[in-house]
Structure formats: structure tokens, C-alpha cells
């Protein structure tokens, strides 16, 4: 699922391409995508895009008639920018939004030279498409009228960059949850999901199952600093990867990550094998040496099967 760094880079790419442009046509190819009926999606047609905003893991596009398009990409949804119009097929391409640049110049639209080479041909027109891989169609689109309606879509999580250390600690300890659950709760923190919570906890050298209300002041401060550091670094990494073109390689599994998606691979800090806890369709990745004092966290499925044979440490696992 795209998280804070991915959403930020998406928004920056869209700002260069659609601000000041008229949304000429909207085509919805999947009935499952559109989650609102009033106002109709046609309400944004012929209106000009004037602002973009991140709301948690959502992308909101504002138009000059006080209407908004709000996208939630969920796990497999992705955005793409095409120089030519694309017809949505309802299977993979769920929607298409055709933008046109009115007049010869617009101060809100950068010079084509400011874009990457692939984007220069789209200086006059372009189509934003939403695709979703797989058969589970979870991505959503809301058409919203006014700021008040938009606020209702915000789950209320705070931005770790805007929060002071004291505000971060207060929100973290507002309930006694595991750190993994707290970081990924959109009511507590904005834009952090499964992938970057793993990276943040590894950077802070904290166990994903440590309870929030048992952290001391130094650990809470370290977690706040790690969240800011990891999200800022990965946002910059993704900017460089896109190189001015529209971001296409949006994934939760990246080569430079320390632990997320690195099960049984060596930790880049200590060399120990990265371990994981699997639950439902998610998993938590961690380094036992850096984060849990060498203790293996019980995988719910395997520990139920193995019971007393479940290894409690890396040494015990290696012996077996």
C-alpha cells in the first residue's frame, strides 16, 4: 500500500502536471471504484485543478468549483500519467481523467524543461489513470463537495513532521498498544503503514511488540526521530528514483530497505537474519539482534503448530 513517501512523491508529480489544467473528461470503468453518488463525478468536469493534498494515505485533488476527487489506492492501486488518452477497461484500468491546458501559458504549470524526458511530450494534454492489479478491487474514489465533507474522510492521525516530541509521545501513549499497531493506526499517525513502520522500528532499535505505555522518554523520543528520519530519507530516495518523470515503480518492497520484505536476509547493521511475524495477509519484519535482544517473536501460525518446540532465540534456531 502506498504510504507517506509514495503519496508525497505522487502529489509532487501531479502538481507539475495538472495544476492550472482543466479536467476535460472523467471515465469510470469500474462500478466498484466510485464510492459516492452525490455529487456526481461529472461535477468536476470542465473545472480547473487548483490544489493537491495528502489525507493520511489518500490523495485529494481540489478544483476551482470547491469539489474534490479523493483517491485511496489501498494495496494494489496505482496512478499513471499518459501523454495520450487511455480508455478504462474496468479490469486493470479502472478510471481515466483527461486534463487539458487552456491557453498557451499558465503560471501554475511549470515549463516542460522542469519535467523529466518522458513528461515533456505531455506539456499540453495528459491523462491520469488509476489501475489496480488482481481481482480484489479495493481502491476507492470519492467525489466531495466542500472542506467540511473532506474533513470527514480524515481518520485524524497526526503528521510526525508537524508534531512536537511531546505531541508525538502523547498520541503514542493514548492507548496501550504494540508499537507496530500504534504506528500503523491511521487515527494516531498519518500515512504510516506496514512497510515503513518496519523500517522505523528497526531504525529506532525497538521491538514491534513492545507496548507503547512501557516506553521511557528516551525511547519515545528516539521513535519520533526515527519516524521523521526514515520517512524523509525514503521520500528523497523516491524523488531521485523518479527523476522528474511520473513515479511508476511504486512498491512496498524496495532494495534499500533494512528489514521490510527481507525475511532471512542479513540485517544491514548486525548481519543477523531478519525474522518475521505473519498474521492474516500482513507480516512484521524485524531484526532480533537489533530490536528484541536476540529473542524470536512467536509467529502465530507456526508457534501454534510447534508449541514447546518453537525456538526462543537465534542461537536455538541455529542449533535446530
Q: Which residues contact 255 (CB under 8 A, 6 or more apart)?
A: none
CB contact at 8 A, 58 and 72: yes
Please tell me the pTM assigned to this model.
0.88
For 180, counting Cβ atoms within 10 Å of its Cβ (0-12 exposed, 13-18 middle, 19+ buried), the class is buried
Q: Domains, the chain, ranges and CATH?
A: 4-151 (3.20.190.10), 165-319 (1.10.8.50)
Q: Hey, what's the cell of 293?
A: 535482544
Arithmetic mean of pLDDT, 123-136: 88
* Rounded distance between C-alpha atoms, residue 142 and residue 149, angstroms: 10
pLDDT in tens, 27-44: 999 989 999 999 999 999
Distance CA 225, CA 228 (A): 5
Taking the C-alpha atoms of residue 121 and residue 17, their distance in angstroms, rounded to an integer, is 11
Cell of 196: 515503513
Angle in degrees, CA 251, 252, 254, rounded to 5: 80
| Residue among 145, 128, 123, 165 nearest 63 (CA) | 145
How far lies 141's CA from each of 126, 276, 305, in Å? 20, 33, 42
pLDDT digits (tens, 9 = 90+) for 72-105: 999 999 999 999 889 999 999 999 999 997 643 4
Q: Encode pLDDT of 242-272 as tens digits.
A: 999 999 999 999 999 999 999 999 999 999 9
Other beta carbons within 10 Å of 157 = 20
Alpha helix (H) residue ranges in 42-152: 147-151
Confidence at 295, pLDDT banded by 50, 70, 90: very high
Amino acid at each position: 500500500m502506498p504510504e507517506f513517501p509514495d503519496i508525497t512523491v505522487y502529489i509532487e508529480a501531479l502538481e507539475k502536471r495538472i495544476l492550472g489544467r482543466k479536467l476535460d473528461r472523467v471515465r469510470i470503468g469500474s462500478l466498484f471504484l466510485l464510492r459516492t453518488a452525490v455529487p456526481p463525478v461529472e461535477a468536476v468536469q470542465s473545472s480547473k485543478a487548483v490544489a493537491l493534498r495528502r489525507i493520511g494515505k489518500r490523495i485529494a485533488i481540489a478544483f476551482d468549483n470547491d469539489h474534490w476527487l479523493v483517491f485511496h489506492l489501498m494495496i494494489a492501486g496505482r496512478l499513471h500519467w499518459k501523454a495520450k488518452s487511455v480508455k478504462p477497461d474496468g479490469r486493470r484500468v479502472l478510471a481515466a481523467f483527461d486534463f487539458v491546458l487552456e491557453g498557451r501559458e499558465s503560471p501554475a504549470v511549470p515549463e516542460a524543461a522542469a519535467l523529466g524526458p518522458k513528461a515533456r511530450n505531455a506539456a499540453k494534454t495528459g491523462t491520469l489513470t488509476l489501475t489496480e492489479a488482481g481481482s480484489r478491487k479495493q481502491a476507492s474514489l470519492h467525489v466531495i463537495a466542500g472542506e467540511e465533507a473532506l474533513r470527514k474522510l480524515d481518520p485524524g492521525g497526526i503528521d510526525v513532521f508537524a508534531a512536537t516530541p511531546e505531541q508525538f509521545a502523547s498520541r503514542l501513549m493514548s492507548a496501550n498498544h504494540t508499537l507496530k499497531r500504534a504506528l500503523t493506526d491511521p487515527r494516531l499517525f498519518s500515512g504510516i503503514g506496514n512497510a515503513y513502520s518496519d523500517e522505523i522500528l528497526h531504525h529506532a532499535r525497538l521491538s514491534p511488540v513492545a507496548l507503547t505505555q512501557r516506553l521511557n522518554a528516551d525511547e519515545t523520543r528516539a521513535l519520533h526521530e526515527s519516524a521523521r528520519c526514515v520517512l524523509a530519507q525514503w521520500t528523497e530516495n523516491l524523488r531521485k528514483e523518479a527523476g522528474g518523470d511520473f513515479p511508476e515503480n511504486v512498491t512496498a518492497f524496495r532494495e534499500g530497505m533494512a528489514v521490510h520484505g527481507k525475511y532471512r536476509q542479513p540485517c544491514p547493521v548486525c548481519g543477523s537474519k531478519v525474522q518475521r511475524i505473519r498474521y492474516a495477509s500482513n507480516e512484521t519484519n524485524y531484526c532480533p539482534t537489533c530490536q528484541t535482544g536476540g529473542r524470536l517473536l512467536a509467529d502465530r501460525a507456526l508457534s501454534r503448530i510447534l508449541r514447546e518446540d518453537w525456538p526462543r532465540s537465534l542461537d536455538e534456531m541455529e542449533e535446530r
